[in-house]
Amino acid sequence: MAAATVAEAIRGAALRLSATSDTARLDAEVLMAHALGVTRSQMLLGRMRDPEPQGFAVLVDRRALHEPVAYIRGVQEFFGLPFRVGPEVLIPRGDSEVLVETALTERPDARRVLDCGVGSGALLLAVLANLAQAEGIGIDRSAAALATARANAAALAVGGRARLLAADWHQPDWSAALGRFDLVLANPPYVEDDAALDASVRSYEPHGALFSGADGLDDYRVLVPQLPGLLAPGGLALVEIGHRQAQAVIAIGGAHGLHAHVRRDLGGRDRVVVFSMTNVQPA
C-alpha cells in the first residue's frame, strides 16, 4: 500500500482532531509543517504531494489528548516574535498583544521596565525588542519559567538589557532593591478557581499562573496596592485583566491613589487597565 501523502495525512488528522479541537484543520496543518521542518506556507505551496513524514502521527496523538499545539511545537509567536514555550509557562496569546501596543504607544520613551510574573518573557521582551533605549527586569516565582525567559531573551538578542530574577509579590520586601520604573507590566493570574476551561488549558498550562481565588481577583488585591511604590514620576502600570474585571480592578487601584483607564482588545473586550499616579488620558 502506498504511503499517504502530506495532503491525505492532513485530511485524516483534521477529521480525527475535529472531536477535540475547534481548529482541527489548522492544527493538522501546523503540526504537519512542524514535522516537515518548514513553514506552513512553504508546505501548502510545495509539499502537499510529499509522503507523510515519520513522527506526524505521534504529534496528532498528542493533540488528540488536548495538549496545546504550542507545547507540541515548543514555540509560539507573539507580537511577531518567536517564543520558546513549555508547560512551565503560559502560552502567550494574541489578546495580550494590546498590553505591548499600549506600552509602546503611551510610554515610547520608557527606560526602565518591570514585568511582574514574567513567564516566557513575552511581554517584557516584546517591549524591549521595540524600545532600544530601555532596560528591563522580569520577576517570577518559578525557576523553570525564569529559565525559559532567559533562553528567549538570549534568542531575541535582548538578554543584555533584561535581568530575570526570582521574586514573589506575595512576599514582604520582594521589590525593596528594584527601584522605580517608567513601565510596570503584569499579566497576573486572574481566572476563577472553578471556571470552566478548555481541557487544553486546565490540563496542561500551569495552574499557578492561571487561578486566583473564587472571583479571580486575589492577585490584584495583593499586587495593585504595591504599584504606587514601583512607579517613577510619570510612570504607568499596565495590568492585564479578564474582560469582566475592569471595574473591580480599577476600584482596587483607586483605593490606593491610582488613576486608571482601560484598553480593549481586538474583540472589543476590556483587556488592560492602565494605572498612573496622575490622571493621564490615553493617547
Q: Are 249 and 273 in contact (CB under 8 A)?
A: yes
pLDDT at 60: 98
Q: Give 93-110 as a DSSP string.
A: -GGGHHHHHHHHHH-TT-
pLDDT at 283: 62
Q: Are 110 and 182 in contact (CB under 8 A)?
A: yes
Output the nine-digit C-alpha cell for 209. 499562573
pLDDT at 279: 76
CA–CA dist 64, 107 (Å, integer): 43
pLDDT at 167: 98
| Widest distance between CA atoms in the chain | 72
pTM: 0.93
Which of left, alpha, beta for 175 (phi over 0: left; psi -120 to 50: alpha)?
alpha
Secondary structure class of 13 (helix, strand, coil)? helix
Q: Give 189-241 as a DSSP string.
A: --B-TT----HHHHTTS-GGGTB-STTS-HHHHHHGGGGGGTEEEEEEEEEE-
Angle at 234 between CA 229 and CA 238, to 5 degrees: 70
Helix or strand run (H / E) with residue 153: helix 143-155
Q: Provide φ and ψ at 211, rounded to 5°.
A: -95, 140
pLDDT at 74: 97
pLDDT at 136: 98
pLDDT along the chain (283 residues), means of 10: 88 96 97 97 96 97 97 97 97 96 98 98 98 98 98 96 98 96 97 92 94 96 98 98 96 97 94 90 66
